[in-house]
Amino acid sequence: MPKVAIVTDSIACLTREMVAQYGIKIVPISICFRDKIYRDWVDISPTEAYELFLQDPDRFTTSPASPGRYLEIYREASKQAKNILCITLSSKLSTGYNMACVAKEEAKTEHPQPSIEVLDSQTVTAAQGFIALVAARTAEEGKDLAEVVKVAEVLFAFG
């Protein structure tokens, strides 16, 4: 069992192959289009979402996952590892970081383990995905939570 599971949101633009290879858990954001709500990666693919955006950009919006969704993913990840690192898109662009932190606090009331760290990637899309991917590779090497966090922080410090 790895020491650290990596969680990130669907904005990170990771492929399903990368997610499967490294056991990364994805929190789907919500995509709203013409009064219908889709969960990214669950109800709609990124390609389908982009096609909707092209149809009517003014009626296409996104919102972060709720704390409840993050909590669900934390529960799943806790079955995979003793600790969790959640890497969110920039808090300057979304409240996703805040939602992940609320879920972290709620998770603490359920069980003191696993230890959960939430990091603001200070970026978005592929750059965020790159940080999550490198963190997952570091975790796969057997590094502990502090070491995985340090690697992720070094990466976004250069962003």
In this structure, the number of other CB atoms found within 10 A of the CB of residue 152 comes to 22
- 54-102 per-position pLDDT tens digit: 999 999 999 999 999 999 999 999 999 999 999 999 999 999 999 999 9
pLDDT in tens, 122-149: 999 999 999 999 999 999 999 999 999 9
Return the exposure string of 37-58: e unless at least 16 CB atoms fall within 10 Å of the residue's CB, then b: ebebbeebeeeebeebeeeeee
d(CA 115, CA 144): 11
How many CA atoms, within 13 angstroms, populate the side-chain half-sphere of residue 69? 21
Going by their DSSP bridges, the two strands 30-33 and 36-39 should be labelled as antiparallel
Domain boundaries along the sequence of the chain: 4-27+66-157, 30-63
Half-sphere exposure of 32 (CA within 13 A, CB side): 8
**Which residues lie closer than 8 Å to 20 by C-beta, 6 or more apart?**
none
Query: Topology of domain 4-27+66-157, per CATH?
Result: Rossmann fold (3.40.50)
